[in-house]
Chains A and B, each alone.
Chain A
Amino acid sequence: MIKTRLIPVLYIKNGLIVRSEDFNYHQMIGNVVNEAKRYNEWNVDELIYIDISRESSYDLRRDDHKIKSYSTIEEIVKTISQTCFMPLTFGGGIRTLDQIDFLIKNGADKITLNTGAIESPDLIKQASEKYGSQAIVLSIDYKLIDKKPIIFSKFGQSDTGIDVFDWIKEIERLGAGEVFLNCIDRDGKASGYDIETIGKVVDSTRLPVIACGGAGDSYDFVDLAKETKVSGIAAGNWFHFVERSYPRAKQLMKKNGINVR
């Protein structure tokens, strides 16, 4: 049977990997390519890169003297795809088909759409017709408001008023191939996954769902895999700060009867 995927998410800001909290506070962690090498050695299932740079171009003055930053996303995608032989997803700030062409041409297997898809849903259709649904991941950031998951766009700052379940029906119709579901309230909080919402979302769609937000220790992965039919479990911060975090998490999942690689 198909295995539950465990997926590190790397947030890139101005060419460097950062740790994220509340979608707002970002701490520089390291060089994009060095981090990729580490994940390659850990034999990870898949990698997701999200560029959260606020500015349209990288501000190199922010460069830390000890850490080399990369000046363009092109350079990042190219370099990573030459050394990492796993599925690579890139996203963040995508608004046009040209940007998608560019990422896929340079080595991305999938791209994520978030605010761009909300502003222009037709982009989902155009992109999936050109590259196939499997390449188009819809990234959805939500907060619970009166117990309902409501989508926030523009780096999680802007309340769209759209219900997650309604939006997933719509994106499935438009040709999206996968959902990357991120709980804003739990970003960087290490408080565990929002299992209830994730479970409901997974049951509401035939699209594979990757869930993110709130991993605090490896048991959070086990709980989420046991209690939902989630297709992928993603985490950002946690993998950066715990020694040999990824292989140890996989071991624990295996020990608890989760079908992982």
Chain B
Amino acid sequence: MKLRIVVEQREAPSLRIRLLIPLLALGGTFLLTSGLILWGHANPLRAYYYFLIAPLSSRFSLFEVLVSATPLILTGVAVTFAFSGGYYNIGAEGQLYAGAIAAAGLGLIVGGLPAPLAIFVLLVGGFVAGMAWAWLPAWLKVRWAVDEVVTTLLLNSVMAYLVSALLNGPWRDPESGWPQSPEIAASAHFPKLVARSRLNLGFIIAVLALIALWYVLNHTAFGLKMRAVGLGKSAARFAGIPVERTMFAAALISGGIAGIAGVCEVAGIQYHLIDALSAGYGYTGIIIATLGGLNAWGVGAAALFFGLIDTGAQTVSRVLGVPVYLGEVTQATMLLVTLAVLLLQHYRIRIRRG
């Protein structure tokens, strides 16, 4: 007698499966990453305590989680806009830096303005800069059908050199000589939401971006068109939707929001442009958009959870000496495990005789 593993299509995912999926994904991820923690000479259970529980146990570390989540919410929203519109923008990392450059530059000249106006100028400048950096690949895509995945990725490398050129050239700090831009004007600093914490206006902006994403995708004609293009270009074209124009708009909005993420890091946290401004937030945004199912609330939840992982990874590294890259590995593992587990929604695995 032979046993065979058969994969069958499932009609509708049952409630049990839907509840099981996040649990399986979490369990699988932590099982896989415990190997690394053991390799780092630490006890996985202790590590997970510092990873997931400790950051939530004090008020100030809780605020740190929100600070870490801020750029992730914004890049998650940026990527969701593009992916929903069928445009694979992998360039959020570069667009984030474009926004950061704009904020660092404008921040030097808005000193005379009242704070709300100065901040507004930075936000608009960052949005436009992110859009501008997203423009070329978007235009090449709709005009010449050049693959946007490759061009957005290549422009991320170009942006890294542009930032380095600025920081080693005109913007090298004249006082310290460090490769960081001069501090932006005090009026452009984002106000703190809680005294003595790092939590600032950036988090509110990120939440507003989430709400805007939800509204545009679900309650506007443009959102409907975007999702139609994302589901299938030829069907959308057949339905009379201007596919190229919709995709182009989704790409530019995506770049603009990624630019805002850069503004929030410069004006909310660093007050300078530095080359390590983003810890790969543009790429993490892709994971978050995917785990969030291209849905605003899902993106928000995934970004908060990843903010927790980022904060926790710092703690684990400080307390247990496990390299901080454990955070990145955990996030990528979670993406892959979830992609696999999500298939259970549509397929069931059976063992059959025969």
Task: Check if A and B associate.
Answer: no
* B contact residues vs A (CB 8 Å cutoff): none
